[in-house]
Amino acid sequence: MPLAEGRFLDFDIHFGYFSLVFRYELDPRRQLFAANDRCAAPVDVRRDAELASGPVLVRDLPAPQAGYRTVEATAVQSVELLEGCLDHAPSPDEPLDPESLDLWVRVRIDDVTGWVRPADLARLGILFAG
**16-33 confidence digits (pLDDT tens):** 899 998 888 888 888 787
Provide the 3-class DSSP secondary structure of residue 109: strand
Residues in the chain: 130
Please tell me the predicted confidence (pLDDT) of residue 96: 67
Please tell me the predicted confidence (pLDDT) of residue 77: 92
State the number of CA atoms in the 13 A half-sphere of 112 facing the CB. 18
Is this structure's pTM higher than 0.85?
Answer: no
Please tell me the predicted confidence (pLDDT) of residue 98: 66
Sheet holding 39-40, edge to edge: 39-40, 79-86, 103-109, 112-116, 55-59, 68-72
Please tell me the predicted confidence (pLDDT) of residue 84: 94
pLDDT of 36 > 60? The answer is yes
Please tell me the predicted confidence (pLDDT) of residue 69: 95
Cβ pair 11, 5 in contact under 8 A: no
DSSP codes of every residue in 65-79: TS-EEEEEGGG---E
Instruction: Give residue-wise pLDDT tens across range 105-124.
Output: 999 999 999 999 999 999 99
Element (H, E) at 123: helix 118-123
